Amino acid sequence: MLGRLPALLLVLGHHLAYKHFFSFFFKKRLSNHSSHLPLSLARSSGYTGRSQFLTPGRQGLNREFGLGWLTFSVYLAGKSFVYLVQYLKLLRPTHWAKNGFLFIPLFFAGEIFNLHMVGPVLLGFVAFSLAASSVYIINDYMDIEADRAHPVKSKRPLASGAVSKPAALVLFGICLLAAFALAWYVKPKFFFVIGVYFLLNVAYTFGLKNISILDILILSMGFVFRIKCGGIASNIAISEWLVIMVFLLALFLAIAKRRDDVLLKQTSGKDMRKAAKGYNLDFMNVMLSLVSAIIIVSYLMYTLAPATMEHFKTYRLYYTSLFVIAGLLRYLQITYVESNTGSPTKILYKDRFIQLTILLWILSFYVLIYLPTDKSFFE
């Protein structure tokens, strides 16, 4: 019986398609055209029937059936595509760029072209992306009402009603199970770190995000988990400097994002999130200035540290600080002048200045780490 189920479903689908679509299509075509034609002209056109109600002949039926099936197929394809786009939006694939932090340990270790080490990190990237998507789904599920009051978040699939709650929960379960299965395949320790990341974000979703300051600290810790997972997958030790720099950069971006929520509160008169009650514009400006200054000083200390120079076999790493400072200044310009830091991911995808500084920073490190000393442009 179970073996016949697909065939039965196919027959049922064709029956429903004919019942609800083709019959309507035939009636509409006949009522719009044939009833207004003389009987002789209608018959000469391929139709036969009584004086008032005409029925299509075999040739006309085949023509109508083919056209109806084509129209119905296009309709179903269009509907399927719309639904697929909404489900993809729910997963937020554009935010998977954040998981590129898993490759940072490989890059700084000079092993980014080592395929034996890149393979596990790629699997880890997929696992972390699925875990992050499950977090996004449960977060959107819990914030449906709050998101509907937000000028941008109201367009999210759950808040707009494009995806139903049961379907979102099913997709959440699939993503979570797939993420944990892949994580266990990479390494049990990788599985453990992703589990801690997931539990911390679930706690964030169910209440910790409403506590000012703690909310941005948890968001920043997510990036530390990413580089930690990258180090586990590639068997590369993570230095304290790398952890500090990644945490500070993520904290900077989180503060700028919360500042955008404060600006929305001032313009709309509504709190976009409960944690916004513990922030005001002056406080956010001070935090941004403080953290950006700490980032610059910490980065210079990192590049000039004896252990760093010994590890990379060069003292010229401080050259790369130019691009770090330029990137920070541009982001501060977007924050203070343009007041458009609601989504760091969108800025990464759209702002050419930020993209150029990141590219030049990567290229400068590539030259210093991967090229032989006698071919280095900096020697």
State residue 155's pLDDT score. Answer: 80
State residue 341's pLDDT score. Answer: 67
Statement to judge: residues 77 and 141 lie in one domain: no
271 within some domain: yes
As a 3-state breakdown, the chain gives helix, strand, coil percent values, each rounded to 5, of: 80, 0, 15
Statement to judge: residues 366 and 297 lie in one domain: yes
Instruction: State how far the Cα of 255 lies from the Cα of 74, in Å rounded to an integer.
Output: 47
Task: Extract the residue ranges of the chain whose pLDDT is less than 50.
Answer: 1-55, 61, 374-378
Statement to judge: residues 313 and 225 lie in one domain: no
26 within some domain: yes
4 within some domain: no
For 50-89, the pLDDT digits (tens) are 444 444 555 554 555 555 555 656 555 555 666 688 888 8
State residue 342's pLDDT score. Answer: 62
Name the domain boundary from 189, 212, 238.
Answer: 238
User: pTM higher than 0.85 for the full model?
Assistant: no
Statement to judge: residues 65 and 183 lie in one domain: no
Which range of residues forms the domain containing residue 229?
112-238
Domain count along the chain: 3
State residue 249's pLDDT score. Answer: 93
State residue 65's pLDDT score. Answer: 52
Statement to judge: residues 230 and 117 lie in one domain: yes
State residue 33's pLDDT score. Answer: 43
Statement to judge: residues 123 and 215 lie in one domain: yes
Beta-carbon neighbour count of residue 279 at 10 Å?
22
Statement to judge: residues 217 and 299 lie in one domain: no
State residue 192's pLDDT score. Answer: 96
49 beta partners = 54
Instruction: State how far the Cα of 337 lies from the Cα of 327, in Å rounded to an integer.
Output: 15
104 within some domain: no
Statement to judge: residues 162 and 126 lie in one domain: yes
State residue 301's pLDDT score. Answer: 92
Statement to judge: residues 258 and 343 lie in one domain: yes
State residue 104's pLDDT score. Answer: 93
Statement to judge: residues 212 and 290 lie in one domain: no
233 within some domain: yes
Contact yes or no for 102/226 (Cβ under 8 A): yes
65 within some domain: yes
Tokens coding 295: 């980032």
Statement to judge: residues 132 and 83 lie in one domain: no
Tokens coding 153: 């978040």
CATH code where residue 187 lies: 1.10.357.140
66 within some domain: yes
Statement to judge: residues 182 and 67 lie in one domain: no
* Residues 6+ away with beta carbon under 8 Å from 347: 331, 334, 340, 341, 354
122 within some domain: yes
State residue 239's pLDDT score. Answer: 87
Contacts 24+ apart (CB under 8 A), 235-242: 235/117, 236/105, 236/106, 236/109, 236/111, 236/117, 238/105, 241/298, 241/302, 241/305, 241/308, 242/104, 242/105, 242/108
State residue 137's pLDDT score. Answer: 92
* R_g (Cα) of the chain, nearest Å: 29
